[in-house]
Amino acid sequence: MSVADLVRPYGDTTGDGRVQVSFTLPVPGVSDAERALAEGAALQLAGKMGLSPAMVVHAKPIGPSFTFFVVYGQVSHLVDLSAVVVPSREFDLLSPAEVNLRIRTALGRKLVVVGATVGTDAHTVGIDAILNVKGHAGEKGLEYYREIRVVNMGAQVPVPSLVARAAAERADAVLVSQVVTQRDAHVTNARELGLAFGVAPEFAVGALRRPLLVVGGPRFDPSAASALGVDKIFGRGTTPGEVASYLAHALAPSAAS
């Protein structure tokens, strides 16, 4: 560790430690008296978080019993850049042509992908960005890949229905997107997915190999895959090319791999 590795947050001037945080407290803030008490509670919390001095720069009631705050303050903490652990990608990024070639060479058939959102999640923007040919961030989705056959089941698919469809399609991989995260619904749904495929009779008897289970969403921790019973987790900012490259790496390894 060197002095250059130590940094503080920046607000007005370099290294001043100024930060801005937002949170909601279950306290009313409609009347003047309620607002004063609510802001005092917010400042108390900010102090316990290590912000000193701190000020409430925004407070807005959310209904009769909650108040949303934005607090600006100063921290004394240093960040040691030399101690930051950055997860490395375990596969190379491939072009669509390279993905197609690897699948054709290794499998001799199309790679089958079944995708959906599960539970009560009605947001298809994530799964569509990865699967649909229009893609995302300037990259074509998996439908664009000649050697990948895509089955997009859409939104709010019950996990048992996803298991049955994956078995019927003899899927090589199942992709699930989760955007709704209230009460950790994405974690619960991912864990249910892993468990369901683990005990499904369609795959337990050995007639079919369990497909690769891939989940993604903005609030997932990519390091939690094994804890949730899935094979891979993609976080925010994932592009179709990354997913396609991972599928090729995991399901159609090259002779050099």
Q: Can you tell me the distance from the alpha carbon of 252 to that of 31, in angstroms, rounded to the nearest whole number?
A: 64
Q: Which of 185, 196, 253 is nearest to 220 (CA)?
A: 185
CA angle 236, 238, 241 (to 5 degrees): 175
CB burial readout 198-219, b (16+ within 10 A) else e:
eebeebeeeeeebbbbbbbbee
Q: Spot the catalytic one: 48, 60, 110, 134.
A: 134
Measured CA to CA, the distance from residue 223 to residue 87 in angstroms comes to 8
- The upper half-sphere exposure of residue 7, i.e. CA atoms within 13 Å in the direction of its Cβ, equals 11
Rounded Cα distance, 248 and 107, in Å: 10
Q: Is 134 a catalytic residue?
A: yes
Residue 108 to residue 148: CA distance in whole angstroms: 12
State the CB neighbour count (10 A cutoff) for residue 158: 13
Q: Which residues are catalytic?
A: 134
